[in-house]
Structure 1
Amino acid sequence: MERTSTVSMQDVAREAGVSPQTVSRVANGSDAVRPETRRRVEAAMTKLGYRPNYAARALKHGRFKDIGVVMFNIASFGNSRILKGIAMAANASGYAITIHMMGKDRERTLTAAVERMKQLPVDGVIVVMEEHLPDFNDFAPPRDLPVVIISEDPSDTCATVDADQHGCSTAIVDYLLSKGHRTVYHIAGPSTSRAAQSRAQGWRDALEQLGLRIPPTYVGDWDADSGYQAGLALAHDPECTAIYAANDQMAYGAILGLRAGGRRVPEDVSVVGVDDSLVGMVPRLDLTTMRMKFDEIGLEAFSMLKRQCEGGRVPVGVKTVIPTELVERGSVRDLAD
């Protein structure tokens, strides 16, 4: 027979053989409940179809235990892994997440995105700022809604966190030069991407600092096909002995393009990518890459936001940097060997 009445906290308490206060602690994610008691209460909640009243919880505790996440693209490797990190941290802390996809209309601003989230029952907002937004430098978060931005650039008003996109490029260039290469060619990501811009600038700065020749940039779209076309073109440039591609998909495509054009990897041309996204997808993966720890970026962003939601403070004006890691495989040759 279908249940028509609302299941109360008292109903769950009777079913589980505990007090309503214990049920309340379980519903609110308190740690002050023994594991076996928690399991019994949760089983009773499931059996009776009990749903916690989140609006009442917010009135009582001043929080919804929900955070908003603003994204441009949920499908890209980096963004999906950042979201995974946020979701894992949120789940471990008893928070839910609400996702808002940034539109392509004229209101494509930080202010508009955060105002949209402010209308929803969230305690704070994480913005994964994949592209540059026109009001980034002028944006100030609402006084009653903490905001953390995942961004290459630090904000004067919000906590920011990201990998060192610029630094990872200089490290890759230094690594390839240490192998005896006279310069490094670059396959960049799309010009709309802040990460692609920072990686390209790091590549250029590293070569300029050493007074080395800066080859023409090949601009791709993050996909392997664009890397393939760049590799095919570079196969006919005898000066090209080292390529740094702005992500692993383009790097892998470049390797196939080079080979199609008659060049061997790594015997003739060394190739390095960024992100380490092809593990488990490409058998016998032999691509040297700079691993981006996207999960950790998401975990840190949630930690910074949670701290603010619960009354704490986080520094602004500086970016928290999640370090990258060079993963050496077999796509780079030491010319001294």
Structure 2
Amino acid sequence: MNRPSTISMQDVAKEAGVSPQTVSRVANGSAAVKAETRERVEAAMHKLGYRPNYAARALKHGRFKDIGVVMFNMSAYGNVRILNAISAAANEHGYAITMLTIGQGRERTLRAAVERMKQLPVDGVIVVMEEQTADFLSFEPPAELPVVIISERPTDHCPTVDADQYGCSEDAVRYLLGCGHRTVYHIAGPATSVAAENRADGWRQALERRGLPVPPVYIGDWEADSGYQAGLALAHEPDCTAVYAANDQMAYGAMLGLRAAGKRVPEDVSVIGVDDSLVGTVPRLELTTMRLDFDGIGREAFAMVTRQCEGETVPTGVKHVIPATLVERASVRDLNA
């Protein structure tokens, strides 16, 4: 069987009724093309099966117009939202994204992940830190490949950005104490999670700074069932009037567990979660939560890496965090009222 001949830029130009220069502009993501012309050219590309030569583009422009995204966990709600935001920002600026997931069987270090990305046609890399790697503080990105890390903890070698996980917990504890509760119990995420560790630290230190008792931590796995089991246990803690869970799924599970054990929410026990992930999933949602701006994190990470791609210096060693927002519903009781 004869292989089909290669479709050229001239073929696309003829099909779309434009010049080859216009096809080149569309292929290179230039903004200097009318929307209707771009659509016509893209339709012609699709019809003829034309594929831009990205290697040639990189030689000509110095960039592939592609950002690599490294993830340790694709299933976590926040990570999915961050990825969607990066993808949307990339699309708006004429970039594509290349995904790389770090599985359990691979060397789980920043160096190993970025070395793999170096073999792909990407201009820069965003690493979504789900777990703390052994080389986080020592890792230095290659001179030719900008790297941005989504992490609340800053490093001297790479720009970082994340939700204010620590401050989120401080705000949640302050809110519950302001409602008259004498201490706050915590349902933490898994020990391997950087976000869970930071939220637990924020909760613990918020209580310690005020000289209040720090109850034992209940460890969950981000899933509602683990929150349910914690709720059943917390129902038997005589001084438990307030619970702060590290995400909304565990918080919602805790509410059900507390109620199954005979406690009323919020009359007996107040509950607050993190991330505001249940909107549109749970009808008549009553859970008070700390909403994290995952979209803002993804877009800021994309902006930071593309600014470096264009030769701009982005500060390192700076704690760049995006604050959470309290969303009050009906799962917290104000004991002062």
Spell out the pairing of 1:128-167 with structure 2 (5 A cutoff): 128-167=128-167
Rounded Cα–Cα distance in structure 2 between residues aligned with 1:195 and 1:97: 24
Aligned twin of 1:303: 303
Aligned twin of 1:280: 280
Q: Matched residue of 1:97: which SS?
A: strand
Aligned twin of 1:270: 270
Aligned twin of 1:182: 182
Q: CA deviation at 1:106?
A: 6.2
Q: Matched residue of 2:320: which SS?
A: strand
Deviations, residues 6-56 of structure 1 (Å, cap 9, x unaligned): 111111112222211111001111011122222222222222221111111
Aligned twin of 1:17: 17
Rounded Cα–Cα distance in structure 2 between residues aligned with 1:94 and 1:251: 39
Q: Matched residue of 1:225: which SS?
A: helix
Aligned twin of 1:103: 103
Contact kept, 8 Å, 2:167 with 2:323, in 1: the verdict is no
Aligned twin of 1:325: 325
Rounded Cα–Cα distance in structure 2 between residues aligned with 1:175 and 1:81: 26
Out of 76-85 and 100-109, give the one that drifted further. 100-109
Q: Which amino acid aligns with 1:128?
A: V
Q: CA deviation at 1:105?
A: 3.8
Aligned twin of 1:294: 294
Q: Does 1:124 find its partner at 2:128?
A: no
Q: Matched residue of 1:271: which SS?
A: strand
TM-score normalised according to structure 2 size: 0.98
Q: Does 1:334 find its partner at 2:334?
A: yes
Rounded Cα–Cα distance in structure 1 between residues aligned with 2:290 and 2:21: 50
Residues 36, 105 of structure 1: CA spacing in aligned structure 2 closer, same or farther, 3 A cutoff? closer
Aligned twin of 1:59: 59
Q: Matched residue of 1:319: which SS?
A: coil
Give the length in aligned residue pairs.
337
Q: Does 1:35 find its partner at 2:35?
A: yes
Q: Matched residue of 1:67: which SS?
A: strand
Instruction: Give the share of equivalent positions with the same residue, in percent.
Output: 75
Q: CA deviation at 1:220?
A: 0.7
Residues 287, 122 of structure 1: CA spacing in aligned structure 2 closer, same or farther, 3 A cutoff? same
Rounded Cα–Cα distance in structure 2 between residues aligned with 1:87 and 1:35: 20
Rounded Cα–Cα distance in structure 2 between residues aligned with 1:39 and 1:233: 59
Contact kept, 8 Å, 2:130 with 2:195, in 1: the verdict is yes
Aligned twin of 1:243: 243
Q: Which amino acid aligns with 1:132?
A: Q
Q: Matched residue of 1:177: which SS?
A: helix
Aligned twin of 2:6: 6
Aligned twin of 1:90: 90
Q: Matched residue of 2:213: which SS?
A: coil
Aligned twin of 2:198: 198
Rounded Cα–Cα distance in structure 1 between residues aligned with 2:39 and 2:253: 50
Q: Which amino acid aligns with 2:117?
A: M
RMSD: 1.4
Rounded Cα–Cα distance in structure 2 between residues aligned with 1:171 and 1:237: 24
Rounded Cα–Cα distance in structure 2 between residues aligned with 1:150 and 1:139: 14
Structure 2 unpaired stretches of 5+: none
Rounded Cα–Cα distance in structure 2 between residues aligned with 1:84 and 1:224: 23
Q: Which amino acid aligns with 2:141?
A: P
Rounded Cα–Cα distance in structure 1 between residues aligned with 2:230 and 2:16: 64
Rounded Cα–Cα distance in structure 2 between residues aligned with 1:284 and 1:166: 29
Rounded Cα–Cα distance in structure 2 between residues aligned with 1:185 and 1:165: 17
Deviations, residues 189-231 of structure 1 (Å, cap 9, x unaligned): 1111111111011111111111011111111111111111111
Spell out the pairing of 1:198-217 with structure 2 (5 A cutoff): 198-217=198-217
Aligned twin of 1:172: 172
Out of 98-107 and 127-136, give the one that drifted further. 98-107
Q: CA deviation at 1:3?
A: 8.0
Q: CA deviation at 1:290?
A: 0.1
Rounded Cα–Cα distance in structure 1 between residues aligned with 2:336 and 2:186: 22
Contact kept, 8 Å, 2:222 with 2:247, in 1: the verdict is yes
Q: Matched residue of 2:117: which SS?
A: helix
Q: CA deviation at 1:104?
A: 2.2
Deviations, residues 77-133 of structure 1 (Å, cap 9, x unaligned): 011111101111111111111111112246211101100110111111100011110
Q: Which amino acid aligns with 2:324?
A: T
Deviations, residues 248-272 of structure 1 (Å, cap 9, x unaligned): 0000010001001100000000000
Aligned twin of 1:255: 255
Aligned twin of 1:70: 70
Rounded Cα–Cα distance in structure 2 between residues aligned with 1:172 and 1:35: 46
Contact kept, 8 Å, 2:72 with 2:101, in 1: the verdict is yes
